[in-house]
Structure 1
Amino acid sequence: MVDLEPEGKVFVVIDLSGSSSEAPAGSSENEERVFRQRLGPRKRQGAVRRRVHQVNGHKFMATFLRQPTYCSHCRDFIWGVLGKQGYQCQVCTCVVHKRCHELIITKCAGMKKQEDTVEEPVGSQRFSVNVPHKFRIHNFKVLTFCDHCGSLLWGLLRQGLQCKVCKVNVHRRCESNVAPNCGVDAKAIAKVLSDLGVTPDKICNSALRRKKVQNISYLNKIK
């Protein structure tokens, strides 16, 4: 019996049909749905922030490699099954060993154009590599891996690109991200710099410091 306003009463008759086993099934689904909704906002509560290693504009992060991959610096195979076997730049997608990520001498091809178009006085950049590749579509007769991202060049024909000068092989999707280092032995140069106690990240940081000093002196002259 339900009371009505301002006055009156209504008698309600409820007839339940069906087996008793159906009700718990529906209720369990509702309970499961509510439980998932409550856990949604807390899914990343225990997530760990991945560390970014910046070298010459590259932003390397430890990455789990799901397929056989070669290092774009030393050209050796990146071994490992469990855990994060290598480091990948989140900008240009090049893949290297953990031991090699601090030895990259070329700037990241994905850096902002503003940084590349800034005019610098002669001698302000002590170390720079800028020798563009000359890529052409190529048919590979044997299994070949990309010299940039390190993964396999899939397909039977026209699988990727090859530089006609230094014979570097890359995916077509990787062409725009390849550093202009045609004919440059980056591994040998990095070894010489390492023997001198100089690493590419130190060179990059010193160049940035010189830029800041030059900008400050220029602003002081204007004032």
Structure 2
Amino acid sequence: MIIHSAVFDKSATRPANYPPAELPEVAFAGRSNVGKSSLINVLVNRRGLVRTSSTPGRTQLLNFFIINDAFSLVDLPGYGFAKVPLAVKKEWGPMVRTFLESRTSLRAVVLLFDIRRVPREEDLQLLDWLEEFEIPTIPVITKADKIGRGHREKQIKPILEATGLPRDAFTLFSATTREGKDEIWERIEEGLRFGQGEGMLE
């Protein structure tokens, strides 16, 4: 994927504030501090398009970005950070579920897992929603550089067991080395073409 332009569109919390559903979209979801912002920035070759924060849980909005004037990437709010107020935690589920259920332009969701963490209840709940709404899922295991190559499969095994997904469904990614970037783009492009015709991205 050659990136010609990547611009922030708008933030929203509910359907009335979403941008018009005119462009196909791929959303990014995962636990706070799993590396969503870093992944998006690497994919679009923009260091600061999506603001990263040392404070997990800070992003509590759905953030829409237009890429190449052809499609959108949507950064969904992170979840699972202990210090986020209870009221904010309660808002996450309805906000994300409503988006997944109602957004007609959504083509796929990139679901991120930290290679050092076993998936928890929220991760599996989100995976269940994606299955319920029949949304194509692109599972990505982030922070691959944090684990030596010889120990990766041992770290990945609990993720496979918890999610029930096959090993070849996952792409390993590192924002530091950019490992996995091309493969993720291939899967995103396939998702964007879903029901859109082959010429959409050309």
- Which interval holds the TM-score relative to the shorter structure? under 0.3
Structure with the larger RCO, 1 or 2 (CA within 8 Å, 6+ apart):
2
Normalising by structure 2, report the TM-score: 0.25
Max radius of gyration: which structure? 1
Q: Which has the higher helix share?
A: 2
| Structure whose residues are more often strand by fraction | 2
